[in-house]
């Protein structure tokens, strides 16, 4: 977890289904996982933000658009997590996101707060 944070990598939670007898779902109420809940939540938000931007506009985490506006992995992680936690799939504000693409990440997030 510390290495993922140091490298600005998203943390994605999920049970590895590669061993017989593994649980089908992680127990996020387990004492051992509680400290990591914020990282799991941010990772899920990042995954949604990245996936939605990649599918809708070709502007995912590693796209030339993202790397041009946000050279650091940390900035990209923060942007896609913020976007992912702000918009659902059917949110009409995706039109605002599309219009604000030319203004970069700050323009997109600003458009969502107005």
Where do the domains of the chain lie? 2-113
Q: What is the pTM of this model?
A: 0.88
Tens of pLDDT, residues 54-110: 999 999 999 999 999 999 999 999 999 999 999 999 999 999 999 999 999 999 999
CA–CA separation, 108 vs 86, rounded Å? 11
CA–CA separation, 95 vs 105, rounded Å? 15
At 102, list the tokens: 């030319």
Residue 28: left (phi > 0), alpha (psi -120 to 50), or beta? Answer: alpha
How much is the pLDDT for 59?
A: 98
Q: How far is CA 78 from the centre of its chain?
A: 8
Q: Give the number of residues written for the chain.
A: 114
């Amino acid at each position: 977890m510390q290495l993922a944070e140091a490298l600005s990598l998203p943390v994605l939670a999920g049970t590895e289904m590669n061993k017989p007898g593994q649980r089908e779902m992680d127990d996020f109420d387990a004492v051992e996982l509680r400290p990591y809940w914020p990282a799991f939540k941010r990772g899920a938000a990042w995954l949604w933000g990245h996936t939605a931007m990649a599918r809708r506009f070709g502007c995912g985490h590693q796209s030339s658009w993202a790397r041009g506006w946000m050279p650091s992995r940390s900035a990209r992680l923060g942007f896609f997590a913020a976007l992912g936690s702000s918009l659902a799939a059917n949110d009409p504000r995706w039109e605002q996101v599309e219009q604000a693409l030319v203004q970069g990440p700050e323009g997109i997030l600003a458009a969502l707060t107005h």
